[in-house]
Amino acid sequence: MEKGERRALQLLLVFFLALCSIFASHLLSSGPYVADDVGGVAQSKVSAETNSKKEAPLPCSAPANNSICCDRSHYRTDVCVIRGDVRTSSLTSSILLYNSSVPPQKIRPYTRKWETSVMNTIEELTLASSNDAEKTRCDVNHSVPAVVFSTGGYTGNVYHEFNDGIIPLFITSRRFNRRVVFLIVNYRHWWISKYRDILPALSDYPPIDFSNDNRTHCFPEITVGLRIHGELSIDPTLTWPLNQTLLDFHSFLDSAFSPHIRYLENHQPPKSTTDAPKLVIIFRNGSRAVENEEEVVRLCENLGFQVQVMRLNYGSELSEIYRDLNASDALLGVVGCALTHLLFMKPGDVFIQIVPLGTDWGANANFAGPAMEFGLKYFPYKIKVSESSLARIYGKDDPVLTDPEKVNSKGWAETKRIYLGNQTVRIDIDRFVEPLTAAFQFIVRRKKSKLGTKFVS
């Protein structure tokens, strides 16, 4: 080989090694960081490609002892894990790692971190180190880990309660097999009561009001914040090592509600039933209400459905809703938070969604997508302009009627004001026959096929 050729190869090799170094640096800097117990920063070597593999641990899922590891890579949520001699200090809104020296971290344990306005209402916690254990002696010693989360934010809306809270709590805490304590900031007593069947199925211990319990609780490990994957969604590749799905979440709900349902069955008269496909209709009051409810119910009954109408409110008993939906064949409703209860159906059942003007994105992202991921057969009914109450308010050439996407592009406030908060629907019964008939025939074929949750098209 000529001297010039050797020189060229050497330069090429140097260039290649430099590129590799830059690439490796990028991978390291894009991951979470771990503050070690001597104050240094050790970069995680978990790449995005590795995270996508089922066998790979998530960032900060196994931090070193005497460390604080924070994963801030997700646009929805931050999650920090602090491991070692960990103690709570509610008076200072702090969680302290003793016999260590690591940089402090700030975190608000709620799953909508991109929404500054709501995040500002969530209590901020400081994770810090301390070498003076005498200042914060343990009042309560726990032998199991803890998970810290908030019941503030949009709590009060059942969609957000499940999407931002219950499902992320399931994702984050399930791996502990109930051997975990829940520390709750922005504690809501009514929330604890509402989810009294679900919480004991995730934790063997009573939840603690972090902000108002002034005792020092000591743990071997605390996870601050909840992991979230998407809208009413669970990505099995991100639930290592359990690799769970929405079907597993449904099985969990089934086991959580079963004791209460058995109690109801033993203390309430049995509901009359027939072999006809059972359809539950969730009607709304006010915005997005159906103006001709009686006509819709009559149509469904004439087609052969056994109809149960639900009108839900904040006081509705979750176990009763679960019992009735889980025993039904189909759910019908207009886009809205109450359709979150589609998670109470059985995989293979039918979901019929009425989609008013300007609500396509929410209908698809929040409900249709999760329904199909969950295994429901989806039948959408998109209304025409003539079926919307907005047609009586705006002129026929107004963009509100002719170009909802343009109106929605002005921002969420405009969408909420016009399409979500100021619209009712009057269903065209002649048009509505088609999706209802298709849904009914699908259910009948599925029942006859005796294939359980498998679809027969």
pLDDT tens digits along 184-226: 999 999 999 999 999 999 999 999 999 999 999 999 999 999 9
Could you give phi then psi for residue 18, rounded to 5 degrees? -65, -45
Indicate whether 242 pLDDT > 90.
no
Residue 404: inside a domain:
yes
Indicate if 238 and 136 belong to the same structural domain: yes
Domain extent, residue 325, equals 264-449
Tell me the CATH number at 418: 3.40.50.360
Contacts 24+ apart (CB under 8 A), 295-304: 295/427, 295/429, 296/427, 296/429, 296/432, 299/429, 299/432, 299/433, 299/436, 300/332, 300/436, 303/433, 303/436, 303/437, 303/440, 304/276, 304/277, 304/440
Residue 293: inside a domain:
yes
- For the ranges 122-136, 138-152, 310-324, the lowest mean pLDDT is seen at 122-136
At residue 291 the predicted structure's pLDDT band, cuts being 50, 70 and 90, is very high
Give the whole-angstrom CA distance, residue 102 versus residue 93: 18
Instruction: Report pLDDT for 50.
Output: 31
Indicate whether 26 pLDDT > 60.
no
- For the ranges 53-57, 81-85, 153-157, the lowest mean pLDDT is seen at 53-57
Paired residues of 208 in beta bridges: 183
* Amino acid found at 114: W
Rounded average pLDDT over 428-453: 89
Indicate if 405 and 351 belong to the same structural domain: yes
At residue 17 the predicted structure's pLDDT band, cuts being 50, 70 and 90, is very low
Indicate if 372 and 317 belong to the same structural domain: yes
* Structure tokens, 67: 């460390």
Residue 457: inside a domain:
no
Indicate if 93 and 171 belong to the same structural domain: yes
Residue 199: inside a domain:
yes
End of a domain among 244, 276, 297?
244
Could you give phi then psi for residue 199, rounded to 5 degrees? -60, -45
User: Which pTM does this prediction carry?
Assistant: 0.84
Indicate whether 97 pLDDT > 90.
yes
Give the whole-angstrom CA distance, residue 84 versus residue 36: 11
End of a domain among 216, 244, 272?
244
Residue 10: inside a domain:
no
Closest CA to 173 of 221, 227, 127, 209: 227
Rounded average pLDDT over 352-374: 96
Rounded average pLDDT over 12-25: 40
Q: Report helix angle 429-449 to 293-303, nearest 10.
A: 40
Instruction: Report pLDDT for 121.
Output: 97
Indicate if 185 and 42 belong to the same structural domain: yes
Indicate if 218 and 318 belong to the same structural domain: no
Indicate if 62 and 129 belong to the same structural domain: yes
Closest CA to 69 of 91, 96, 42, 51: 42
Indicate if 194 and 289 belong to the same structural domain: no
End of a domain among 176, 209, 244?
244
Q: Torsion angle of alpha carbons 275, 279, 280, 284, nearest 10°?
A: -150
Indicate whether 41 pLDDT > 90.
no
At residue 69 the predicted structure's pLDDT band, cuts being 50, 70 and 90, is very high
Indicate whether 134 pLDDT > 70.
no
Summary mean pLDDT of the chain: 86
Residue 252: inside a domain:
no
Indicate if 294 and 233 belong to the same structural domain: no
DSSP 365: I
Residue 306: inside a domain:
yes
Residue 249: inside a domain:
no
The sign of the dihedral angle between the CA atoms of 23, 27, 28, 29 is positive
pLDDT tens digits along 304-322: 999 999 999 877 899 999 9
Q: Number of structural domains, the chain?
A: 2
Indicate if 378 and 418 belong to the same structural domain: yes
Indicate whether 31 pLDDT > 50.
no
Indicate if 348 and 433 belong to the same structural domain: yes
Query: Is the Cβ–Cβ distance between 257 and 319 less than 8 Å?
Result: yes
pLDDT tens digits along 345-357: 999 999 999 999 9
Indicate if 215 and 335 belong to the same structural domain: no
Instruction: Report pLDDT for 99.
Output: 83
